[in-house]
Amino acid sequence: MVFDFPEEKTPFAKRYTKMEKTLKEVDSKHIKLVDHRICKSKEDLVETMDKVCGDKGEGMMLRDPQSKYEHRRSDRLLKVKRFEDDEATVIGHERGSGRCEHMLGALRVKRCSDGQEFKIGSGFTDTIRKNPPKIGRKVTFKFMGLSNSGIPRFPIFMREHPGM
């Protein structure tokens, strides 16, 4: 799946035209161009996102048609994903590794709504990693749907629950 042409030093709209032309010349059933189109409105974005997520897609990439290719994160190419959020109770701490060796690596949690147990390993600042939520505390996390076994996919720590 071809989605960009990094060596071409022109705006994306021109790169896309060149990709279309090049792939027509190649004419391979194994190489396909990722479809791109202009987003017309906020409503168009929401409708398209509904379709992508309904087809089990994770999200979309929004690109400025006049942007040059950048070999880094950029505000000219934005990832758009949908997340759900929920609460879980902390049931354990796992030590980090590498840079986080002497800090929290992941929280082991039990989801309040269904009792599923899993780990949350991202979304923490170093301050939180040094002083993580205590066992028994509730935390709020976001995630991208559920796995086939009902575990939240890609859980990300948001905050310790305020206890209301």
CB atoms closer than 10 angstroms to residue 121: 18
Rounded Cα gap, residues 36 and 88, in angstroms: 38
pLDDT at site 164: 52
The arrangement of secondary structure in 84-160, i.e. its CATH architecture, is: Beta Barrel (2.40)
Query: Angle 43-47-49 (CA atoms, 0-180°, nearest 5)?
Result: 115
In whole angstroms, how far apart are CA 39 and each of 4, 36, 55, 59, 110?
Answer: 18, 9, 19, 14, 40
10 Å CB burial of residue 152 (0-12, 13-18, 19+) is buried
Q: In sequence order, which residues have a C-beta less than 8 Å from that of residue 99 and are 6 or more positions away? A: none
Domain extents in the chain: 12-81, 84-160
Closest CA to 95 of 129, 138, 140: 129
Q: Is 23 helix (H, G, I), strand (E, B) or coil?
A: helix
Q: What is the pLDDT along the chain (164 residues), one digit of tens a residue?
A: 999 988 888 999 999 999 999 999 988 889 999 989 899 999 999 999 999 988 888 889 999 999 999 989 889 999 999 899 999 999 999 999 999 999 999 999 999 999 999 999 999 999 999 999 999 999 999 998 888 999 999 999 999 988 75
pLDDT at site 5: 87
Query: Angle 118-124-81 (CA atoms, 0-180°, nearest 5)?
Result: 75
